[in-house]
Amino acid sequence: MSAEMTPIETAKYVAARRAAEFVQDGMRVGLGTGSTADWMVRRLGERIKDEGLQIKGVPTSAATGQLAREVGIPVVSLDQAGWLDLTIDGADEFDGEFNLIKGGGGALLHEKIVATASDQMVVIADAGKEVETLGAFPLPVEVIPFGWQTTRTLIEEALDAMDVLGTSVTLRMKGDAPRVTDEGNHILDLHLKRIGNARHLALVLNQVPGVVENGLFLDICDKVVIGYGDGRVELRDLNDGSVETDQPGDKAENLFSDLAD
């Protein structure tokens, strides 16, 4: 791959590499899904090859599992792993309290199960994913195929009583057919524009018949690693309130040397 990267690609890359440093020998690690998480998976593969890092990875999607195997990460199921030490995953949005919207990649159900089965969840994101209030990104909701149109109608009716600015609900498509998740379900995208009370909304959505899970990740994330287009990385810790910033410094010119091949 060429070392020429857009600022957003750079931000994703540096955040992923920084987050991969949290992984230590012997850990059972949840491997997220999406473009930013892919960089993290590749970095862990490098560490296994170069450092002899010994871990077990639990992928949150079939695509992540395939990539993990390709780069040399031993893959096990969540049932085989039991409880996880750490999950590293991306996000479509995050706010100041580390509440998230996830599911843009279609893996929200597996992602939420894996994240909540972990001692710690670290989110990796470019700076553009930070918002004051969740909702600009459409909220994914995974639903079973049977009666999905009825489920959509029930969701639309429920949204009328919610503190949101939009109530449009669309079926996510892949070409001419509905997008199918790894569990064989459909995804409804809720175009809410702004979510005033995420906790209330999450509870209401999961009570709608046909809904499997929603993309609101609340009280799950512990740390956020934010990448910037100039190579800076900011690490925020919810538990102790600390904020650290890593500057590219003198190593900036070599930052992407491993991508030059």
Answer for the pair 215, 110: CB distance below 8 angstroms, yes or no: no
pLDDT tens digits for range 84-130: 999 999 999 999 999 999 999 999 999 999 999 999 999 999 999 99
Residues marked as catalytic: 111
Q: Which helix (H) or strand (E) holds 93?
A: strand 93-94
Amino acid at 218: L
193 DSSP assignment: S
The pLDDT value recorded for residue 4 is 83
Domains (range + CATH), the chain: 7-131+219-237 (3.40.50.1360), 139-210 (3.30.70.260)
pLDDT tens digits for range 193-220: 999 999 999 999 999 999 999 999 999 9
In terms of Cα–Cα distance, which of 183, 127, 99, 108 is closest to 12?
Answer: 127
The pLDDT value recorded for residue 248 is 81
pLDDT tier at 3 (50, 70, 90 boundaries)?
low
| CA–CA separation, 164 and 195 (whole Å) | 5
Q: Are strands 223-227 and 121-126 parallel, antiparallel or unpaired?
A: parallel
What pTM does this model have? 0.93
Q: Which residues contact 212 (CB under 8 A, 6 or more apart)?
A: 109, 142, 143, 144, 183, 185
